[in-house]
Amino acid sequence: MLNQHKWIYVALAVLVASLAAHKSAWLLTFLFILLLLLLLKGEQRAVIALMLGSGFFSYGFIMLGQQTEPSPLPSQILITWTNEYKVNGQKLRGFVQTATKDKLYVVYTFHSEQEKNFFAKHSLAGSVYQVQGELVEPAPKAHAYAFSMNDYLKSKGARGIFEVTEWTFVQQRQSFQTWLAQQRHRMKVHIEQTFPPSLVAEAQALLFGIQDEVDDELQRAYQKLGITHLFAISGLHVALISWLFFEGLLRLHVRKGIATFSLLLILPIYGVLAGSAPSVWRAVSVVELILLLRYFNWRLAIDDALAWSFIGFVLLEPGVIFQVGFQLSYLATASLIYSNRILKEATNWLLRSFLITFVCQLLVYPLLLYHFYEISLSSFIANIFFVPLFSFIILPINIFLFLLTFISMPLVHLCFVFYEPLRLWLTAFIFFLQQLPYQLWSPGRPAIWLCGIAMVSAIVSLYFLEIKRYVLCLIVLFLPACWIHWSPMFFSEMKITFLNVGQGDCTIIELPYRKAVYMIDAGGVLRFQQARWKASKQPYEVGKQVVVPFLKGKGIRMIDIFIVTHADADHVEGAEEVLQEIAMGEIHVTPQSTTKQVMQDILKEAQKRHVPVKEKMQGTSWQVRETVFQYLWPHDTDYEGNNDSIVLYIQHGRFRGLLTGDLEEAGEQGLQALYGEHLANLTLLKAGHHGSKTSSSEPFVELVRPMLTVFSAGLHNRYHHPHQEVVERFHRRQLPTWTTGIDGTLEIKIKKDLVQ
């Protein structure tokens, strides 16, 4: 066996091999860089040989698994449900295993409320169904910073999405793991039946890792404070459960050896009951390894146990390295292990708590920025108080109350009378804290190479902190951070992005060096009345799930002017979520549109955040350096719908662009009458009304003859936008067109009078 503290090199080799197998074989060159570092370090030949051997073996092993062609799926297959599934609205979604051991993500639509209620109350784990349906392609992500279903399936080792049209129950498979999954479901339902509604979500999350009921607003408050991890079962939870169980057995006069063996048996069971998340299995596997080897009088260092756990995880499920929870869990744990000398310098619990948070955040911050595009600055303070509060007070209270529900309900109700008001007060306090300004650093997503530099700088700064060279520590730390902060602004061209928001409009204009940012509309979803049981717990919100991630991913922290072209849901419904997350200078609306019901949410949010709302019409213009903006429409103050959309004209050197909102033929005729040849031969046109048959009329298209036309329309939308007749009008004139629903998010760069 290798000497202690050497397995980290093998784990790094396995990581490199897995990345190379999934991305590019050229990444294997990092094995030789690691080889060079070990030679310079003077490591033993056995260490170097094992590192190289493990790397190449892992690469071959993973590649072999990837190159195995899966057998074609027939329209009828047998599936066995795992415990990873959710019932939400009218849909059942989750992972299943086929008879050929393929993993699939299955989507099923309930036909009645009774059917939905049955599956909400009974565990599906281990249930075998004969299903009929088809394998469908995951929807492409809306833009580079949006959620990718394809990447998610890859990280889970799933072959694809199978949409079920019909199914028939075959049998219930019995196994110990299935039984545990059923018990987990029963505990979830038990908590719902015995805890007050305000405490259900927290108890389910803390005790069993179930976060289905966690309120979105509360979760966002936790994110702003940097304490979201408190709702996830982590190493601290596992350690506390282990300590309570072990000490409890010792108090019952159970021999230490038997108590240790019992703990070895109980921890994997708890891992399944807690949801089998990477953070749970990381903690469980490390404790299991150390206890098991100690049981046989072998010693294993904690960092070596972590490395063994990592190697086993990656080889068993190679795609796991792309799971954010897996990455953060192992990196944060490693940061604590290898910063032990720094943590020992703490002279009191307050300083130690701060150092623990500082060390963890320092090493994981490049990953956090890459995945979430922001970091909570308040987390350095908040975690000092909230980690002990949740770990040593709230978690034990939830464990106690949960156990008490099986003993005496009158007594547990009495406890809730005192505990619930205190817990609600804490929630109110958390909401108050999250409203404080300047809590988030949102520089956008750094390039991978810049993340690597930031990671190296974090490691070097920890070294300088360890040897007490504090000035060097700060310099090494802040230089890459400043680079990350300012790099999104280093561009000399004007950028116009037509965001793929489905059936709606959203356009973002960035001036050179980000001297100003303007956003036109924010997308939205047309809501239709449906039965209450069909409604999703977390309805799809374009602003939150598409627009905000794009803005944050690009590092856009301020929108100087937000233009609402007119009062239609598919243009304005997403604006409220954008306002909640992104600072705005002012909002421009078309005259009299503020009286419409669809505008009320954005107006309330603007008033709450002291953002001025101004009515604008024809004649308004402004200039930023060489770029001129002008509103060409509407020309009166009577709001009548689409034909009173704000029309924006942009001139940047020889570039001339026209963005027409939902303008239809009557509005186009008005523009022609007012401006005539001034609109001829445009560089760019954002076609009116998503390419509707009632817009882009023949005379208008003949006049403007744009070099490029963009239709903002959803893929397979119910209105069939852009209409074929409209598209043909442009194509007959050999004028190229793009559609966001087909071509995805479109970014147009205007540099030195050239459009790219």
pLDDT per residue as tens digits for the range 248-264: 888 888 888 888 888 88
pLDDT for res 755? 57
Mean pLDDT of 554-575: 94
Cβ atoms of 335 and 368 within 8 Å: the answer is: no
**Higher per-residue pLDDT: 722 or 533:** 722
Q: Which pairs count as long-range contacts for 452-460, CB under 8 Å and 24+ apart, including other chains?
A: 452/366, 453/480, 453/483, 454/365, 454/366, 454/369, 454/480, 454/481, 454/484, 455/363, 455/366, 458/362, 458/363, 458/365, 458/366, 459/363
Mean pLDDT of 435-459: 92
pLDDT for res 428? 94
Q: Is it the case that residue 527 has pLDDT exceeding 80?
A: no
pLDDT for res 2? 60
pLDDT for res 756? 55
594 SS3 class: helix
Distances in Å between the Cα of 389 and the Cα atoms of 64, 155, 428, 588 are: 48, 33, 16, 45
Nearest to 617 by CA among 638, 599, 600, 632: 632
Question: Rounded distance, CA 103 to CA 153, Å?
Answer: 9
Q: Is it the case that residue 528 has pLDDT exceeding 60?
A: yes
Q: How far is CA 127 from the centre of its chain?
A: 30
Q: Is it the case that residue 231 has pLDDT exceeding 80?
A: no
pLDDT for res 68? 66
Mean pLDDT of 623-642: 92
Listed range (78-92, 273-287, 561-575) with the worst mean pLDDT: 273-287
Q: Is it the case that residue 608 has pLDDT exceeding 90?
A: yes
271 — pLDDT class (breaks 50, 70, 90): confident
pLDDT for res 487? 93
Question: Rounded distance, CA 49 to CA 228, Å?
Answer: 41
Q: Is it the case that residue 243 has pLDDT exceeding 90?
A: no
494 — pLDDT class (breaks 50, 70, 90): very high
Q: Indicate the DSSP class of residue 636.
A: S
Mean pLDDT of 43-57: 89
Nearest-5° Cα angle at 142, 137 to 144: 105
Nearest to 598 by CA among 565, 572, 562: 572
Tens digits of residue pLDDT in 134-150? 888 898 899 999 999 99
Q: Report the percentage of the chain scoring pLDDT > 70.
A: 98
Mean pLDDT of 510-528: 91
Mean pLDDT of 634-658: 92
Tens digits of residue pLDDT in 698-732? 999 999 999 999 999 998 888 899 999 999 999 99
Q: How far is CA 176 from the centre of its chain?
A: 33
Mean pLDDT of the chain: 89
618 — pLDDT class (breaks 50, 70, 90): very high
Mean pLDDT of 520-533: 83
pLDDT for res 254? 83
Mean pLDDT of 159-180: 89
Nearest to 557 by CA among 649, 486, 609: 486
3 — pLDDT class (breaks 50, 70, 90): low
Q: Is it the case that residue 122 has pLDDT exceeding 90?
A: no
pLDDT for res 279? 80
pLDDT for res 351? 81
- Other C-beta atoms lying within 10 Å of the C-beta of residue 113: 13
- Is the pTM above the cut of 0.85? yes
DSSP string, 453-521: HHHHHHHHHHHHHHTT-HHHHHHHHHHHHHHHHHGGG---SEEEEE---SSS--EEEE-GGGS-EEEE-
531 — pLDDT class (breaks 50, 70, 90): confident
713 SS3 class: coil
Q: Indicate the DSSP class of residue 685.
A: E
- Tokens at residue 452, please? 């690597």
Ordered domains of the chain (ranges, CATH): 7-67 (no CATH), 76-173 (2.40.50.140), 184-442 (no CATH), 449-489 (no CATH), 494-528+540-755 (3.60.15.10)
Phi, psi of 498 (to 5 degrees): -100, 105
pLDDT for res 296? 73
Mean pLDDT of 553-565: 96
- Other C-beta atoms lying within 10 Å of the C-beta of residue 584: 20
Tens digits of residue pLDDT in 65-104? 777 666 777 878 899 999 889 998 899 999 999 988 889 9
Tens digits of residue pLDDT in 346-383? 777 788 888 888 888 888 999 999 999 999 999 888 88
Q: Report the percentage of the chain scoring pLDDT > 90.
A: 55
Q: Which amino acid is present at 477?
A: L
